[in-house]
Amino acid sequence: MTRLFGTDGVRGLANENLTAGLALRLGAAAAQVLTAENRTSKRRPIAIVGRDPRVSGEMLAAALSAGMASRGVDVLRVGVIPTPAVAYLTDDYGADMGVMISASHNPMPDNGIKFFSAGGHKLPDVVEDEIEAVMGRLKEEGPTGHGIGRVIEEAPDAQDRYLNHLRESIPTRLNGIKVVVDAANGAASEVTPLAYSAAGAEVIAIHNNPNAYNINDKCGSTHIDQIQKAVVEHGADLGLAHDGDADRCLAVDAKGSIVDGDQIMAILAVAMKDNGELRKNTLVATVMSNLGLKLAMAEAGIDLRTTSVGDRYVLEELNAGGFSLGGEQSGHIVLPDYGTTGDGTLTGLAIMARMAETEKSLAELAKVMKVLPQVLINVPVSDKACIMDNPDVRAAIAEAEETLGKTGRVLLRPSGTEELFRVMVEAGEEETARRVAGKLAAVVAAV
Residues making up the binding site: 104, 243, 245, 247
Q: For residue 345, which phi and psi values (nearest 5 degrees)? A: -65, -45
Parallel, antiparallel, or unpaired for β 303-307 and 258-259?
unpaired
Q: At what angle do helices 191-198 and 344-358 cross, to 10 degrees?
A: 20
Nearest to 212 by CA among 384, 56, 330, 30: 56
Q: Is 104 annotated in the active site?
A: yes
The dihedral over CA atoms of 184, 186, 191, 194, expressed in degrees to the nearest 10, equals 30
Buried b (16+ CB within 10 A) or exposed e, 39-72: eeeeebbbbbbbbbbbbbbebbbbbbbbbbbbbb
The conformation of residue 175, written as its DSSP 8-state character, comes to T
Task: Enumerate the β-bridge partners of residue 3.
Answer: none
Please say whether the beta carbons of 82 and 191 come within 8 A: yes
User: What are the helix (H) ranges across 137-200?
Assistant: 158-169, 191-198
Between the two ends of the chain, the Cα-to-Cα distance in Å is 28
Buried b (16+ CB within 10 A) or exposed e, 362-388: beebbebbbbbbbbebebebeeeeebe
Rounded Cα distance between 24 and 61, Å, is: 9
Q: Which of 65, 70, 104, 169 is catalytic?
A: 104
Rounded Cα distance between 162 and 345, Å, is: 11
CA angle 208, 164, 317 (to 5 degrees): 85
Nearest to 369 by CA among 254, 240, 241, 268: 268
How many other C-beta atoms are found inside a 10 Å radius of the C-beta of residue 16? 9
What 3-state DSSP class applies to 74? strand
Rounded Cα distance between 335 and 396, Å, is: 39
Q: H/E element holding 77?
A: strand 74-80
Chain centre distance of CA 221? 11
User: What are the helix (H) ranges across 35-145?
Assistant: 56-69, 83-92, 125-136
Binding site for Mg(2+), residues?
104, 243, 245, 247
Active site residues: 104
